[in-house]
């Protein structure tokens, strides 16, 4: 199988490594405007050969793993070139825009809109990890618009690298992901900003920062080049989630100001159930 990965970063590179390990007779071709990324990916064995966009005419599978503002443009170009039996999928964190962009393309049936829920705060081919997707969820949107034989191929590939599959409507995906992913990144960036601004006057603050701070601010190390387009494409739902988050912060601040510490306790106690939700335990309302 000839797999072409467009964008050799954390996600694209990790998929390349897993598919090379778990699938038979795979050759991975890397496509990236950043020549240094291509050279590094080749040196690290993430990809087997360099390629260009026009070479996808030879592909059995094309993975589009670039920032979401570029993805729709690249995807149309890929669909213009591929064979009738080539599987094409993206890995973007927003789905509505890209699904709308290609809905009338003559090769729409080649495309599977996917979002593997996995990653780290690092970027570039050096960040690629073997086994990154094992046990992780892969959201697939508008699966009915993909040719059935290509659906089967994609599901087999995802299954072999250990991914669970969840099907969602693109709008529902973008709304839910705004809360569980996009809002988390904004919170981390703004926490980091707050501490950096405070650090100008109190340099000891970083000496006092423990593992709780480190884990909470971890996402602030993520690439702004990747996340700014995500916030732009999902602006409506990001703003909605931010409003609710800010309302909760304001309410918590008011409780502190009023010395309402029993209510502070209740707020935290009620939120402790997130542990059960994240552990997959069914919660009775």
Query: In sequence order, what DSSP letters do the residues of 217-235 get, joined into one string?
Result: HGGGGS-HHHHHHHHHHTH
Q: How confident is residue 90, by pLDDT bands cut at 50, 70 and 90?
A: very high
Q: Summarize the confidence of residues 34-40 as an average pLDDT.
A: 94
Give residue 222's pLDDT: 86
Domains of the chain, start order: 2-168 (3.40.50.720), 172-278 (1.10.3660.10)
Q: Do the strands 49-50 and 27-31 form a parallel or antiparallel pair, or are they unpaired?
A: parallel
Tens-digit pLDDT profile for residues 204-213: 666 666 667 7
CA gap 14, 133 in Å, rounded: 8
Lowest mean pLDDT among 85-89, 116-120, 144-148, 251-255: 116-120
Instruction: Tell me how far apart the alpha carbons of residues 264 and 255 are, in angstroms, rounded to a whole number.
Output: 6
How much is the pLDDT for 80?
97
Which candidate, 14, 28, 20, places its Cα nearest to that of 58? 28
CB atoms within 10 A of CB 58: 14
Tokens of 137: 């969820």
- Pairwise CA distance, residues 78 & 204, whole Å: 52
pTM of the model: 0.86
- pLDDT 10s digits, 146-170: 999 999 999 999 999 999 999 999 9
pLDDT value at residue 195: 83
Q: Over 70: is that where the pLDDT of 255 sits?
A: yes
Q: Residue 280: pLDDT above 70?
A: no
Structure tokens at 86: 């080539």
Residue 278 scores a pLDDT above 90? no
Summarize pLDDT for 42-55 with one digit per residue, the tens: 999 999 999 999 99
Q: What per-residue confidence (pLDDT) applies to 284?
A: 38
pLDDT at residue 127 greater than cutoff 50? yes
Strand partners, 165: 138
Please report the pLDDT score of residue 220 as a whole number.
Answer: 86
Average pLDDT, stretch 204-225? 77
E-strand spans in 20-150? Answer: 27-31, 49-50, 61-64, 87-90, 111-116, 137-141
Residue 146's nearest CA partner among 111, 95, 104 is: 111
pLDDT of residue 239: 97
* Tens-digit pLDDT profile for residues 174-202: 999 999 999 999 999 998 898 888 766 66
């Amino acid at each position: 199988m000839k797999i072409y990965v467009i964008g050799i970063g954390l996600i694209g590179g990790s998929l390349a490594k897993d598919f090379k390990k778990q699938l038979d007779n795979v050759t991975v071709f890397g496509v990236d405007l950043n020549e240094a990324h291509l050279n590094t990916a080749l040196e690290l064995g993430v990809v087997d050969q360099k390629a260009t966009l026009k070479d996808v005419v030879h592909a059995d599978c094309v993975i589009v793993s670039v920032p979401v503002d570029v993805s729709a443009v690249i995807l149309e170009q890929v669909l213009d070139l591929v064979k009738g039996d080539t599987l094409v999928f993206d890995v973007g964190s927003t789905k509505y825009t890209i699904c709308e962009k290609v809905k009338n393309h003559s090769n729409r049936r080649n495309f599977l809109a996917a979002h593997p829920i996995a990653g780290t705060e690092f970027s570039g081919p050096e960040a690629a990890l073997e086994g990154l997707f094992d046990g992780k969820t892969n959201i697939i949107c508008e699966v009915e618009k993909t040719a059935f034989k290509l659906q089967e191929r994609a599901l087999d590939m995802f299954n072999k690298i250990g991914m669970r599959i969840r099907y969602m409507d693109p709008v529902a995906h973008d709304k839910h992901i705004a809360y569980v992913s996009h809002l988390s990144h904004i919170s981390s960036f703004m926490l980091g900003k707050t501490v950096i601004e405070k650090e100008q006057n109190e340099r000891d603050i970083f000496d006092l920062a423990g593992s709780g701070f480190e884990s909470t601010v971890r996402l602030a190390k993520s690439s702004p080049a990747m996340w700014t387009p995500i916030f732009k494409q999902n602006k409506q739902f990001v703003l909605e989630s931010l409003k609710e988050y800010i309302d909760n912060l304001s309410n918590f601040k008011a409780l502190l100001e009023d010395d309402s510490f029993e209510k502070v306790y209740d707020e935290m106690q009620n939120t402790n159930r997130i542990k059960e939700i994240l552990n997959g335990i069914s919660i009775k309302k």
